[in-house]
Amino acid sequence: MRCEVVAIGTELLLGQIIDTNSSWIGEQLTQIGVDSLYQTKVGDNHSRIIATIKTALERSDAVICCGGLGPTQDDITREAIAEIMDVELIFDSSIAETIKKMFVSRGRSMPDNNLKQAEIPEGASPIPKQPGTAPGLICPIGQKVLYAVPGVPYEMHQMMKTAILPDLIARAGHKSIIKSRVLKTWGYSESRLAEILENRISELDEAGNPTIAFLASGIEGLKVRITAKGNTQAEAEELIEKEEENVRQLLGSSIFATDNETMESTIINLLKKSGLTLSLVEVTSGGIASARLSAADPFGEVFFGSIVPRSSGTRKQLLNVPQDIIGTSEGAKQLAIAARALFKTDIGLSTTGEHDVLGVTKRGQTYLGIANQNGAQVEQVKLPGDYERVRQFSVISLLNSLRLSLSKKN
């Protein structure tokens, strides 16, 4: 079975809102074994919406329209669907009553234009238990089906899970499961990663199931996605488990996290396991590492804190690190030692580089410091791009160096 997604809203085309709904819907369709070969965005134009939906219905068994169900003049999805179905819009008093009750429960009076949302194409079925004022719709069109959901993510998610996905499963007559696992890596370039996995990918291409794909994700590293299809969830997961073993043998310690894990959550878990505490001084990264580590350790169990000393006076007064070594290997070393001493932690980290020195024309050379009870070590890395990219990449490079160091001890 094929299901297509049509996202409706001029704001999507203008880039004012990022279309995360389509990607989320695509993920859900994959998990129930429904193929989604096309995703389309179209603005708030009656004729173009109709043309886009008709094209989608020609090449797919089902279409999910997302957006355009609100009460304003540019919310015209209902009218477009009614024209495609060749029916009139009819007023549904039960929907109108539901909308009125929502406003009353919030202590607000309902504008009259909200009653527009109670008009639905004749023959369409409203999705039960609507979470917002916009009702979702299930619209039969011959042997095919058109679903309409609001663009508000929370409302759309609920309607997809409670009504649309079960309906698609029933229409498909079976439920094959497609599962994916993402292995996050750092240390190899994309081309080198592809080279290492080339033979294995070729073998999988011949077999057809599971499959491997790459995704470059900037500060999150390079992702290797393993996808498997099975008649049951257990069958799909077993295929993934076996393939993950193969990939880990090939990529080794470059893999730092899986699925929703991050570099910082990996670091925090390793610190807890080792019984160690951490602090850092960020010059180059300017607080990015601190924010990420704080989110992974919100109560400061192992990450004690950080300092972002932007001025030379601050560095001298609080850390006793002179300005003339900032942006050097020695500067990274002294900053890491100072972080450890200031916060009284087992480990101190630091970032500094050429970007931190006013008037220096060279760019990208960055120094990452790690200090512990045995002394301090500095890693020198040449990072690509402008200052912002250097700041971002310095964080994952620094945390990866710490990860490899901690992993050796466990």
User: Higher pLDDT residue, 354 or 217?
Assistant: 354
Q: Which amino acid is at 335?
A: L
**How many beta carbons lie within 10 A of that of residue 188, not counting itself?**
16
What local confidence, expressed as pLDDT, does residue 62 receive? 97
Span 8-35, average pLDDT: 90
What local confidence, expressed as pLDDT, does residue 132 receive? 86
pLDDT band at 365 (very low <50, low <70, confident <90, very high): confident
Residue holding tokens 């932007």?
310
DSSP conformation class of 227: E
Determine the straight-line distance between the first and last CA of the chain, rounded to whole angstroms.
48
pLDDT band at 362 (very low <50, low <70, confident <90, very high): low
Q: What are phi and psi of 264, to 5 degrees?
A: -70, -35
Task: State which fold the 177-258 domain adopts.
Answer: Alpha-Beta Plaits (3.30.70)
- What percentage of residues in the chain have a pLDDT greater than 90? 63
pLDDT band at 4 (very low <50, low <70, confident <90, very high): very high
Q: What are phi and psi of 134, to 5 degrees?
A: -95, 115
Span 194-208, average pLDDT: 89
| pLDDT at 37 > cutoff 70 | yes
Residue holding tokens 């001493």?
341
What local confidence, expressed as pLDDT, does residue 158 receive? 94
Alpha-carbon distance of 290 to 264, in angstroms, equals 10
What local confidence, expressed as pLDDT, does residue 409 receive? 66
Q: Please report, for the chain, the start and end positions of each structural domain, with discontinuous segments joined by +.
A: 3-172, 177-258, 263-409
Span 12-27, average pLDDT: 93
What local confidence, expressed as pLDDT, does residue 141 receive? 95
Contact between 44 and 80 under an 8 Å Cβ cutoff? The reply is no
Question: Which listed CATH number (3.40.30.10, 3.90.950.20, 1.10.760.10, 3.40.50.2300) goes with 263-409?
Answer: 3.90.950.20
Alpha-carbon distance of 91 to 404, in angstroms, equals 64
- What percentage of residues in the chain have a pLDDT greater than 70? 97
Q: What angle do CA 27, 236, 266 make, to 5 degrees?
A: 70
> How do residues 232-279 score in pLDDT, each as one tens digit?
889 989 999 999 999 999 999 999 999 989 999 999 999 999 999 999
What local confidence, expressed as pLDDT, does residue 173 receive? 78
**How does the average pLDDT of the chain come out, rounded?**
91
Span 112-132, average pLDDT: 88
pLDDT band at 410 (very low <50, low <70, confident <90, very high): low
Span 15-36, average pLDDT: 89
Do strands 144-149 and 177-185 pair parallel, antiparallel, or not at all (unpaired)? unpaired
pLDDT band at 81 (very low <50, low <70, confident <90, very high): very high
- Is 3-172 a domain of CATH 3.40.50.720? no
Helix (H) or strand (E) holding 255: strand 255-258
pLDDT band at 164 (very low <50, low <70, confident <90, very high): very high
| pLDDT at 1 > cutoff 60 | yes
Span 368-386, average pLDDT: 91
Span 387-408, average pLDDT: 90
pLDDT band at 112 (very low <50, low <70, confident <90, very high): confident
Alpha-carbon distance of 320 to 335, in angstroms, equals 9
| pLDDT at 361 > cutoff 60 | no
Do strands 222-230 and 255-258 pair parallel, antiparallel, or not at all (unpaired)? unpaired
Span 106-120, average pLDDT: 84
Span 352-362, average pLDDT: 77
Measured CA distances, 98 to 71, 104, 134 (Å): 15, 10, 10
Q: 117-121, 172-176, 187-191, 294-298: which has the minimum mean pLDDT?
A: 172-176
What local confidence, expressed as pLDDT, does residue 314 receive? 86
What local confidence, expressed as pLDDT, does residue 174 receive? 64
> How do residues 203-221 score in pLDDT, each as one tens digit?
998 888 898 988 777 778 8
Contact between 4 and 24 under an 8 Å Cβ cutoff? The reply is no
What local confidence, expressed as pLDDT, does residue 175 receive? 64
Alpha-carbon distance of 377 to 30, in angstroms, equals 46
pLDDT band at 360 (very low <50, low <70, confident <90, very high): low
